[in-house]
Structure 1
Amino acid sequence: MKPVLALTLAAFFVTFPLLAEREEVTSEIFHLGTKGLPEWNEFRSSEPHGRNLSVTFEAKANQEESTLFIRQDDVKQGWRVSLNGKRLGNLERFESKMLHTLKVPAKTLKDGENRLSIAAPTALDDVFVGGAFLVNKAREDALRQSFLEVRVTDSKGAPLPCRITITNEKDYLMPLQVEASPLVAVRTGVVYSLEGKTTAGVLPGKYLVYASRGFEYGVATAKVRVAEGETRSIRLSLDREVPTEGWISCDPHVHVKTFSGHGDSTVEERIPTIAGEGLELPISTDHNHHADYGPYQEAAGASAFFTTVIGNEVTTKVGHFNAFPIKKGAPLPNHETESWKELFKSIRATPGVEVILLNHPRNVHSNFSPTDPSHFNRASGESQREGGLEMDAIEVITSAALQADYTGPFEDWFALLNAGKRVTAAGSSDTHDVNRYLLGQGRTYLQCPDKDPANVDLAAACRAFREGRALVSMGLLTHLRVEERFEVGDLATKLPSKATARIQVLGPRWVDATRVVLYGNGLPIWESEVESAPNAITKADLKVELPKFTHDIHLVAIANGSGVTKPFWEIPRPYQHKSKEYVSRVIGATNPIWLDFDGDGKYTSPRGYAERLVEKKPMLAETLAKLSDFDSSVAVQVAALLTVRGVDLKETKAEAAWEKASPAIRTGFSEFLEASP
């Protein structure tokens, strides 16, 4: 998150040589927005200049095409830019800092006074814009004055697919002129290169150059100043920092504009972004389309870097569900139906499909959210829709569609687990873009052989997905073991009276971890603040003695830390949000270890215990007595079954009875009733 108080003119301003072709429009940075209605609470301390902007400046008439360069930050909506009443275009819909360029047609400028206007959209949007100047050349000519020649290798000197990020000294992404090629994907300030190199035309000035390759690698940086007419050569080396042996990096939610129809990444550009972010198993999930990125990968000579998978985001009026893998030539599932029962049946019948993933469960599309409280009880995990949610996995992190409160999707997942559903937590990007949302920022690590990224064992990867042998990552990687024998997806049996859990939190040097929480049945049973050593890869290595439970639990660890704000991997703001409070975080979460505390050699869910405790014709007093040794997650499920079997828990005598029960029972019953549609 960017503190408003730091957004001063000095923080935005950057100097360039005063070229003869350059004319200043304004050096000031303006905060535009709606007074009294900030988009985010962080903007409350900064009163906006207004909703619209009008700036006058002196210039000479342009007989040929010119270019407007304008700084912008935090732009989410469509802000219209005009010059002397002639529409030039929009600010870029991009919530990071960048120097944007707009074409100024010949004869738009006039001798003397000119007027730059920026008009607000109807939606709330706080933006920072200004620091504008004109160069009396077309963009491609203006950016042929100076060049940065960047080469990136691994520690052995071999070329490395990577992302090259070029900013000014204040981390504004800078406009680049790069020759088109199937080996690169280029956006303002960014080049993804399969060969680890680029020659970028830039304006003369001072620059920061970052080389990165996603979560598992370090970041190399260089400061450079390039004069007009000069070419500067930069050599950078990247090392892998985060150990992931035995785990495959997967982004199970990837789009391209070519097949999905929106976003900005073509299928050709997707290839260098996949390799440049270090993904090994990207799954193509374009909307209602079986997309195969394989031929484009082969054409770019990128077959050695990753294994492509044909998938489909089955996009309906009642939710979005990824299905994969899909055999070539398979028919489309029925995405017209509004029945979950029919939808899941159709997806399962699609040739090849082994995994169904529920996407962004709390997002609203077509006025529908799969886990909306109107039809989904967020305490008990019950759905009122026919057939219910019968997928294999659920996105708990979707980096291009984050929630203001990141815990919400986790809570929905915990509710499903407590309802007895074996659903794997997943992380994904859902990116449609080259740089607006980063591919693989949210990702899932699958436990399967990883020696050859060009030939990932897809059957093993899908099996790991279904069995919960998976880790969720957005900047951190959290491992969990019980008694040093049991890992995620395992059933832990014959546990000692004092069982211990070991939590390891890993991440590259450019992230930190600040907190770790251990959850039993979705309830926090242990938590700790952590402070990792500077530049440490292991952020935390903790041993925890587990409380003694009389019933089985599923055990999950979640770590978080401060969000990344640097432009090579900046965490985006939430896509849809009801709250105006947001704290950017990195997150690493495990899937469950299933703990057999009751010693019967199997795992019983909270729902399973509830079904034992609640008779077909239940007596409330007897049920409450039997429930006294269980936690609130079981109490929630008991309340749900009692309700189904005719007990009115809001009736005066019934309410008085359960309100006198143990704290766990009172909590569970209250949570169920509050969450009931």
Structure 2
Amino acid sequence: MRISKKITATLLLGSMLGSVAHADVTITTGKTIIPDGEATHSQDITVSNENLAFALAVESSAPWGVPRGALVDLAAVKNGQVDLDRIAFADFIPNSWSAWPNDRKSLKIIEDTSDRAVIKVSRNFGKVDISTWYTLVSGSDAIELKTVMTNHGKEAIELTSGFTLWPDAGTMFPAPGLKSDGAVSTDKTLSDRTVGYGRDWAFALHAPYFDRNTYGGRDMYLGHTLKAGESRTFDAELQVVPNGDLAPVVKAEAERRGEPTGTITGQLRANEGDVPDDAIVIIEKEDELYGWTLAKGGEYSMVLPSGKYQIYGTATGHANSEVETIKVEANREQTFNFTDLAAPGTLSLTVEETGSGIAKDARISIVKGQEPPVEFLGKRSFFTELLPVGQAEIELAPGEYRISIDSGAGFISQMKMLNVKLESGEINRRDVKIEQISYPNQNGWYGADLHHHGNILEAVTPPETVVRSQLAAALDLTFISEHDSTINYEVFSELSARREVPFIPSIEVSPSWGHMNPFPIDAGATLTADPSTDDVQTLIKDMKAMGAEVIPMNHPFNDYGYYTNLENNNVPGGATDNFDLLELNIAVDNEPTLKKARELWDKGEAMYFTAGTDTHDAWNQLSGSIRMMAHVEGELTPLNFAKALKAGHAYATQGPLLYPQEVMFGEHVQVGDIWTVKFVAVDGLKEVRMLSKGGKVVKTISPAEAPQKLELALSIPEEAESWVSLEVEDEDGSMAWTNPVWIR
């Protein structure tokens, strides 16, 4: 390990921080000093001062196929000790999350003094040079970021570029006032910052250049045209706060913008006079959440830009105080006390199937009533316990609520709604009965969400919560696919075993040009290939060596999808036929994937479907909202489930259930054959469409009165060629897509 020439450098920082107001800036080379950090190579670099530490993956692999040299670790320094790494990635992206063709990299330490460290990393994006300067000054709580893009090509390029902040824990708070996610923001925002935060940390990306935002606040982009020979500069700051308080972030933004400010101060108390844990003051502006500050010991103080605000006090499980409308004036301090926070009540639920009394797993969500404005104060959705099944006790602010109970809702049952009133200090006990409408398992059909994350990289859901969420969705097998990691296999296997549910281990192999979810992976298997540098053939060979029965291509037509990048000549190694399934994904437009699958069927190629939600946050995303239903003969095991998908004995669904009788999907029929299929649509069956060669609709059935159950004797029409498949739509707009039945 190389340590920079300053005599004050130390791996833990503690000795130097205890006795000075401003500690020296240090640069260390080697495995990062940041606990849980991903920069582990002997040539990686960590930079630190008394407030923060960050690491550059000079030779360690960066996530999602990003070229080496990226900022992959970031932590606060607290009382002289480096805190945990809280990010997966926080660096510059040249063109959204598209493939990143790269063949060169250089790193240079520009300045290495006790007052200031400057590091320059240069990489290329095809014919565009990308140079980023990372600057840390003694006493600062922020990294200064500067990237210059220079187009050395002969053609202008349309790009979506900027800095990103992808935490591996906590929650995102996007720029206040942002009205859209994933598109150009045409609405004026109240800020040009995005924040990742938890109870005891907050990281803010200040990005004054941005004009659009994606992935829930993580990406701060500018849409621009980079002409041949032209350069463009992006300046930003990455601020680190050692707790969940946004007061330093709001103050830094006001100073950066040169805005006049005033100060608000005061006290927070519960209505019985106690000081609640996690007491905070919420700041709203123009009816949008603008920020918050912690009330330490019941006392708070916050600097705000001049203007009108609405403020109130709240705390974990407590009812909000009355809202104060205030006007902050430059250089003026005002006091506002909040002393009427009401203490929590408890909702105790038992969830059972109607008639049988069998305990049911369920997702419990607030539909109407007080929701925590800040994530670490509580969730909006909850799950019944892993054991005992069907039980939940939830502490909430007192008041009236409308609560949804989802136990496979939209698939095997309807959503149940409860109206409840909670009183401070009291328990409201409710028994919930769920009527199950269909029983797929009795017919050999089993469901799984085949693209789901836990808590690795940017995913934030602990393993037990993932399992509880998947069971609440009435899935029959649990599944996990972390980005380039198998670290959670053992805990997921153990949790699933407690409920005697088969667990499908997978891994999302994540190069920048196409993601793949091979499964099931052998116990103890690890990925040895490098998604950042290896070609598609090498990666597929390694996945097969891990024991995978099937290799699906995930979201194949999005920016980092295989077919998109194959068309753009960005797939190392070119085309391959060595994968088995195409993914239908709840988060993307599936029409290109459906079209591609039908084109392959036209050629007689047995490329079948997989389906998954790509859930990263099970509290705020719905596990199993799209799933694969597979017909498994004999024992339900991960291997047998995968074999059923490989044989085409499966369909993808957002709700409707299908029970084919004479012929299974993936098998053969003849023109004129009668094919009986039973349909179940909890929300009412709207339409059944039979498709054939070229995606042509050859038969449409629109039943009257949208029944929940219907049996159809479908004749294979003379105009059908090569194959037929079914599309099913329910009254709620939820779809099911089947694999083909081949025509002899």
SS at match of 2:515: strand
**1:426 Cα deviation from its structure 2 partner:** 1.5
**1:249 Cα deviation from its structure 2 partner:** 1.0
1:590 aligns with 2:738: yes
**1:342 Cα deviation from its structure 2 partner:** 2.8
1:317 aligns with 2:512: yes
**1:294 Cα deviation from its structure 2 partner:** 4.8
SS at match of 2:734: strand
The residue that corresponds to 2:428 in the other structure is 232
What are the Cα deviations for residues 16-60 of structure 1, in whole angstroms up to 9, with x where unaligned?
xxxxxxxxxxxxxxx9457xx99789x9xxx96x42289xxxxxx
TM, length-normalised to structure 2: 0.54
The total of aligned residue pairs comes to 463
What are the Cα deviations for residues 489-526 of structure 1, in whole angstroms up to 9, with x where unaligned?
1122xx36x33444543232xx3443332111242233
Q: Which residue, 722, 727, 737 being the options, matches 1:553? A: 722
The residue that corresponds to 1:603 in the other structure is none
Q: CA separation in 1, counterparts of 2:729 and 2:681?
A: 11
Q: CA separation in 2, counterparts of 1:178 and 1:83?
A: 16
Could you tell me the percent identity over the aligned residues?
Answer: 18
**1:224 Cα deviation from its structure 2 partner:** 1.7
- 8 Å CA contact retained: 1:178, 1:199: no
Q: CA separation in 2, counterparts of 1:337 and 1:90?
A: 46
The residue that corresponds to 1:537 in the other structure is 708
The residue that corresponds to 2:51 in the other structure is none
- 8 Å CA contact retained: 1:175, 1:188: no
1:271 aligns with 2:462: no
- 8 Å CA contact retained: 2:412, 2:439: yes
The residue that corresponds to 2:680 in the other structure is 506
Cα 1:499/1:40, change in 2 over 3 Å: farther
Structure 2 stretches of 5 or more lacking a match? Answer: 1-175, 193-213, 221-243, 253-279, 320-340
**1:548 Cα deviation from its structure 2 partner:** 1.5
The residue that corresponds to 1:445 in the other structure is 629
Q: CA separation in 1, counterparts of 2:613 and 2:415?
A: 21
**1:310 Cα deviation from its structure 2 partner:** 2.0
1:429-508 equivalence runs, <5 A: 429-449=613-633, 456-480=636-660, 485-492=662-669, 495=670, 498-508=672-682
Cα 1:331/1:90, change in 2 over 3 Å: farther
**1:90 Cα deviation from its structure 2 partner:** 11
The residue that corresponds to 2:266 in the other structure is none
Cα 1:115/1:279, change in 2 over 3 Å: farther
Q: CA separation in 1, counterparts of 2:316 and 2:665?
A: 56
1:200 aligns with 2:200: no
Q: CA separation in 2, counterparts of 1:545 and 1:274?
A: 37
**1:561 Cα deviation from its structure 2 partner:** 3.7
The residue that corresponds to 1:213 in the other structure is 407
Q: CA separation in 2, counterparts of 1:51 and 1:470?
A: 46
Cα 1:101/1:200, change in 2 over 3 Å: farther
- 8 Å CA contact retained: 2:685, 2:708: no
Q: Please tell me the residue identity of whatever aligns with 1:148.
A: L
The residue that corresponds to 1:64 in the other structure is none
Cα 1:371/1:273, change in 2 over 3 Å: same
- 8 Å CA contact retained: 2:684, 2:708: no
Q: CA separation in 1, counterparts of 2:357 and 2:289?
A: 33
1:165 aligns with 2:334: no
Judging by fraction of residues, say which structure has more strand. Answer: 2
1:664-675 equivalence runs, <5 A: none
Q: CA separation in 1, counterparts of 2:694 and 2:281?
A: 49
Q: Which residue, 344, 347, 360 being the options, matches 1:148? A: 347
Q: CA separation in 2, counterparts of 1:376 and 1:412?
A: 16
RMSD, matched Cα: 4.3
- 8 Å CA contact retained: 1:145, 1:203: yes
**1:545 Cα deviation from its structure 2 partner:** 3.9
Structure 1 stretches of 5 or more lacking a match? Answer: 1-30, 55-73, 93-97, 118-131, 180-185, 378-382, 564-584, 597-677
Q: Please tell me the residue identity of whatever aligns with 2:349.
A: V
1:98-497 equivalence runs, <5 A: 104-105=294-295, 107-108=299-300, 134-135=312-313, 137=315, 144-155=343-354, 156-168=356-368, 187-194=379-386, 195-214=389-408, 215-244=411-440, 245-257=443-455, 260-296=456-492, 298=494, 303-334=498-529, 335-350=531-546, 352-365=547-560, 369-372=561-564, 375=567, 386-395=574-583, 397-399=584-586, 401-403=587-589, 406-449=590-633, 456-480=636-660, 485-492=662-669, 495=670
Q: CA separation in 2, counterparts of 1:505 and 1:90?
A: 49
Judging by fraction of residues, say which structure has more helix. Answer: 1
Cα 1:320/1:75, change in 2 over 3 Å: closer
Cα 1:531/1:133, change in 2 over 3 Å: farther
Cα 1:81/1:518, change in 2 over 3 Å: farther
**1:533 Cα deviation from its structure 2 partner:** 3.9
**1:374 Cα deviation from its structure 2 partner:** 6.3
Question: Relative contact order: is structure 1 or structure 2 higher (C-alpha 8 Å, sep ≥ 6)?
Answer: 1
- 8 Å CA contact retained: 1:292, 1:309: no
